[in-house]
Amino acid sequence: MPSLTASRTWQALQEKSAQFQTPEFSLSALFDGADRFEQFSLNHGELLFDYSKNLIDAEVLSLLVQLAEERGLGQATAAMFSGAMINETENRPAHHIALRIPPDFQTNAEVAEVLFKLDMVVGAIHSGTWTGHTGEAITDIVNIGIGGSDLGPAMVSEALTHLHVASQKVHFVSNVDPVHMELTLRGLNPATTLFIIASKSFTTAETLANANLARAWLLEADCAASDLNKHFVAVSSNVSAAVKFGIDADNVFPMWDWVGGRYSLWSAIGLPIALAIGAEKFNELLAGAHSMDRHFAEAPLNANMPVIKAMLDIWYSEFFNTRSFAVVPYSQSLDQLPDYLQQLSMESLGKCVTKAGEPTPTNTGAVIWGTPGTNGQHSYFQLLHQGTTVVPVDFIAIANSNASIGAEQHDLLLSNCLAQSLALMEGKKNPEEPHRESTGNRPSNTWLLNELSPFALGSLLALFEHEVYVQSIIWDINAFDQWGVELGKTLAKSMQGALTDPAQQQNLDASSRGLIKQIKSWNKQEQT
């Protein structure tokens, strides 16, 4: 692929960026004259994307779209939708979009079969026909997984709490710290608890450790080993390992190598979502994602939400040296969305070599972080307004609250969201009291949903997935592998041995040996 930084479009963007970084520049002045909001906002269904408060003009937008075209985005998008082998380092497709194709158009028999099986299991549990070892109906479901097997399902389940069924409660355990499992099991009845073990390989260390704790908890509660299958289902490609653990083969949902963990909530990994909100609502989530898939595939680049969002992030990363982006949902229901997007973006884009194995010539992935508003206003917003580092912000707001109380309070929430984006843009001059001055010219996007429905949430999440893919195409990196994660896993295995066997500590560095020595010293104190 031709050099990214040597292209005339890249150089034109470099020159253009200087205009937005002069002492005289005023972002709010760009709103004078023509209707900037109409020019720099998009609608798709009941999702509004306002990107008018960015450091851009029509020429910048045109150049960014031109750069995307030059980097082969059109061909790359077609390749993903066709199921081509776009995950080159692992020799597999990345075809998660196939999981949300409507049933009438679904051509993948395996996907259709899994969705049918998911509907059957959800129906059996909700109706009470699936019972535990004492014959009692299931009341609690505990999902045991980590990474994409936890973050997506947990986030969506919390976001749609207002739609949860009354007959069951869904819980999530991810951390290998036994405290997480202990606190989750506290108050649960083993006879009415079902565990979902979500691990593609069924070898994930943290997940298996927690699964063994769950198994021991059931056995200690007089559940016979032969009845464990009544309390476990699995989502895994390793059926034999799941069966060896004690899970009936019929209770194992398959996973496919063409679905990456951070893109897997649309698969059987989404079983806890379906159990929380019902199979019908889960299908609405898939439908919303499919709607955004079609928008991404069909809308022209200059009117394409994922493309414009991705190119804005490229604009700031490369020409303003931005290394951090904040996601601030003004919705407590979306509390876990920043964590989910953190994995989606940073695990996908945290790469330092191109697809050809050459060092990347530019910045790539940045730090994604955030919390719900208005909480953030009382912690890190000080830095957003007056700090020396400019952090672009994605504000997310819901026009109609899912709360049954406090209509006026929801207006207060929305007013804070709108006011913060305005304050970041306009700032406040105060030369006589410089400590009170805010420079303004701080960019932000605002995403406005009509309501927090499964369809709208599915559409929003698919948008962010496609945004990440677009960025990977511009940078010529593979968004679908995560080899950097593997090194830590490998070292953790040897470190675990060193914690119990002094002979294995000899080849460790001085820092690791010193930390182990202190750990063992304090372990002895606890035991006496």
Q: How many residues does the chain have?
A: 528
d(CA 367, CA 269): 26
Burial, 290: exposed, middle or buried (Cβ in 10 Å; 0-12, 13-18, 19+)? buried
Token pair 């109380």 is at which residue? 405
Residues noted as catalytic? 347, 378, 489
| β-strands 193-198, 252-253 pairing | unpaired
d(CA 484, CA 352): 10
| β-strands 47-50, 444-451 pairing | antiparallel
* CB neighbour list of residue 394: distance below 8 Å, 6 or more residues apart: 325, 326, 327, 328, 370, 444, 445, 447
Q: Would you state the structure tokens that stand for residue 18, as one six-digit string?
A: 């200087």
* CB neighbour list of residue 292: distance below 8 Å, 6 or more residues apart: 44, 305, 306, 458, 459, 460, 462, 463, 466
Q: Are 309 and 445 in contact (CB under 8 A)?
A: yes
| 196, β-bridge pairs | 143, 233
CA–CA–CA angle 349, 351, 354 (5° rounding): 110
d(CA 77, CA 90): 19
Report which of 92, 378, 134, 117 is spatially closest to residue 251, judged by C-alpha positions. 117
Q: 201 to each of 257, 290, 329, 479, 487, how far by Cα in Å? A: 10, 27, 34, 20, 17
d(CA 98, CA 293): 10
Q: Is the peptide bond before 107 cis (omega within 30 degrees of 0)?
A: no
The CA R_g of the chain, rounded to the nearest whole Å, is 25
